[in-house]
């Protein structure tokens, strides 16, 4: 393959390997938000994507799919266990989500993380053209920016952090805190979901590395504290770039008669309750599913709501099932759901319809249309795109969004009912307020939410980040010139 002007580096490739109709394995575009955000950008430029194909010990040569050049990175079973399930998801994930679950610190996991990040960086450095751009994504690859800079000081490097960044008091627990900060500071532009995340990162840099910081710009000295970093000193812009969704598919689906009919069918299958509450999450301890179930169960027990009138549909798609904390969480949630249903179900109505599976976008759109109240009550979340998907789908300007103030979306969607999910009484009050909200107030709030989501879609997000990268590239060129 020839060198690419624009290279995306992410943990996963934008395609999944599945069995085709004839039994042969084929590649299908992934449904994730990052893919939806970057696919139009990649197809509009000379681009390549570096990522893991999603299966251990799968060694695939570079290939082209959907007009994008793909560069697969092979990971062994041990590397998946140590780099991905270990350091990424049992060290960084809980630490960066306010230690909701205790992080595990193991040196062999760190060694695997460094080695895999090096492999991604080598592939990106080899793929990018002279003076090109590399855009690195998320917490699995925090060392890649500095590694690429050491190999290719001629390129412009961006990094976007999709999850929260913790306060310094929590971040300081990480034994490799300095190495991770230096890894991120290899980038010219470092993006976060919320302004508070960017502030937390800058505080960590100020406290740990003592680098000069003016406003939101860090002056990174030559070498950046690493022997093998041969790059010159540079400036790193640290800023919030809240991510969003591609709204067009949801607008189109919401207007389709078959999707609207499916929404009516869903309500009928639930026994046509007066109010349908909906939660849609990965089964993850950060999402607050247990708190949501507890609050709803207490409302049933107190008689504030009845199972005939109010039903909760909880979609909890499988996630990281080989990690003990996730297996334990599934057991806890299913036990709580079973107890509530056992206490309150009737022959015609179920208190909680619990669905431990994922659904295609068409079914999700129907669920969004069927739901009177959307419960997004994460204990900590970088953004939460489900909230924006629900808002985009509600072309009828009806429905109520109950949103955790600890989700990044709360910064933008201020006319939702904001709630502290740790406060069970407050969460119960928010649910009752949503259930009892008059149609006129629903419409007023939803119109405001929809303006915000439609005006700030995924195209606006990628455009704002790429504009910052272009400014950084021009500044670098001017400095060299």
The conformation of residue 154, written as its DSSP 8-state character, comes to T
How far, in Å, CA of 331 to CA of 10, rounded? 31
- Measured in residues, the chain has a length of 481
Give the side-chain half-sphere CA count within 13 A for 242: 20
Q: Is 162 a catalytic residue?
A: yes
Are the CB atoms for 200 and 168 separated by under 8 Å? yes
How far, in Å, CA of 334 to CA of 328, rounded? 10
Are the CB atoms for 52 and 81 separated by under 8 Å? no
How far CA 80 is from CA of 8, 73, 140, 205, 222, in Å, comes to: 21, 12, 11, 30, 33
How far, in Å, CA of 450 to CA of 3, rounded? 41
Question: Exactly one of 97, 162, 234, 344 is catalytic; which is it?
Answer: 162
Give the side-chain half-sphere CA count within 13 A for 293: 26
Can you name the residues that pair with 285 across neighbouring β-strands?
none
Q: Which two tokens stand for residue 323?
A: 């990690």
How far, in Å, CA of 137 to CA of 338, rounded? 39
Q: Which two tokens stand for residue 474?
A: 């021009």
How far, in Å, CA of 449 to CA of 442, rounded? 10
How far, in Å, CA of 354 to CA of 307, rounded? 15
Can you name the residues that pair with 220 across neighbouring β-strands?
234
Q: Which two tokens stand for residue 84?
A: 């991905």
How far, in Å, CA of 232 to CA of 224, rounded? 9
Number of Cβ atoms within 10 Å of the Cβ of 397: 15
Question: Exactly one of 90, 197, 246, 381 is catalytic; which is it?
Answer: 381
Q: Is 411 a catalytic residue?
A: no
To the nearest 10°, report the CA torsion of 208, 211, 212, 218: -100
Burial annotation 314-324 (CB, 10 A radius, 16+ → b, else e): bbbeebbeebe
Residue whose pair of structure tokens reads 């607050």 in the numeric block: 288
Are the CB atoms for 148 and 124 separated by under 8 Å? yes
The conformation of residue 381, written as its DSSP 8-state character, comes to B
What is the sign, positive or negative, of the torsion defined by CA atoms of 433, 437, 442, 444?
A: negative
- Active site amino acids: 162, 381
């Amino acid at each position: 393959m020839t060198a690419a002007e624009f290279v995306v580096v992410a943990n996963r490739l934008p395609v999944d390997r599945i069995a085709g109709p004839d039994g042969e394995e084929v590649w299908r575009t992934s449904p994730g938000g990052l893919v939806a955000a970057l696919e139009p950008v990649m197809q509009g430029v000379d681009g390549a994507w570096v990522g893991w194909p999603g299966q251990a010990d799968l060694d695939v040569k570079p290939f082209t799919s959907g007009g994008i050049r793909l560069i697969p990175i092979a990971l062994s079973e041990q590397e998946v266990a140590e780099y991905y399930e270990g350091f990424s998801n049992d060290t960084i994930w809980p630490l960066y989500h306010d230690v909701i679950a205790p992080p595990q610190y193991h040196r062999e996991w760190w060694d695997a993380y460094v080695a895999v990040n090096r492999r991604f960086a080598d592939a990106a450095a080899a793929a990018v053209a002279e003076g090109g751009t590399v855009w690195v994504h998320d917490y699995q690859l925090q060392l890649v920016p500095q590694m690429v800079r050491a190999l290719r000081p001629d390129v412009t490097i961006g990094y976007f952090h999709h999850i929260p960044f913790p306060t310094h008091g929590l971040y300081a627990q990480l034994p490799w805190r300095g190495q991770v900060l230096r890894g991120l500071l290899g980038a010219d532009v470092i993006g976060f979901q919320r302004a508070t995340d960017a502030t937390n990162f800058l505080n960590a840099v100020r406290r740990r590395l003592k680098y000069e910081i003016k406003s939101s710009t860090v002056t990174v000295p030559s070498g950046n504290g690493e022997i093998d970093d041969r790059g010159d000193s540079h400036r790193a812009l640290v800023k919030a770039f809240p991510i969003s969704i591609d709204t067009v598919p949801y607008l189109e689906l919401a207007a389709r008669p078959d999707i609207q009919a499916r929404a009516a069918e869903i309500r009928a299958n639930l026994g046509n309750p007066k109010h349908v509450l909906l939660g849609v999450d990965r089964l993850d301890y950060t999402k607050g599913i247990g708190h949501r179930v507890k609050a709803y169960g207490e409302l049933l027990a107190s008689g504030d709501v009845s199972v005939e009138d109010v039903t909760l549909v909880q979609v909890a798609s499988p996630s990281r099932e080989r990690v003990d904390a996730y297996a334990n969480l599934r057991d806890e949630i299913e036990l709580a759901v079973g107890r509530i249903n056992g206490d309150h179900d009737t022959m015609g109505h179920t208190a909680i319809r619990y669905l431990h599976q994922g659904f295609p976008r068409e079914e999700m759109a129907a669920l969004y249309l069927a739901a009177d109240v959307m419960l997004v009550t994460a204990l900590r979340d970088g953004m939460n795109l489900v909230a924006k998907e629900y808002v985009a789908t509600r072309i009828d300007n009806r429905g109520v969004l109950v949103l955790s103030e600890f989700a990044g979306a709360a910064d933008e969607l201020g006319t939702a009912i904001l709630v502290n999910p740790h406060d069970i009484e407050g969460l119960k009050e928010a649910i009752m307020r949503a259930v009892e909200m008059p149609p006129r107030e629903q419409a007023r709030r939803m119109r405001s939410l929809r303006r915000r989501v439609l005006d700030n879609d995924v195209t606006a997000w990628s455009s704002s980040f790429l504009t910052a990268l272009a400014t950084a590239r021009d500044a670098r060129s001017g400095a060299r010139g």
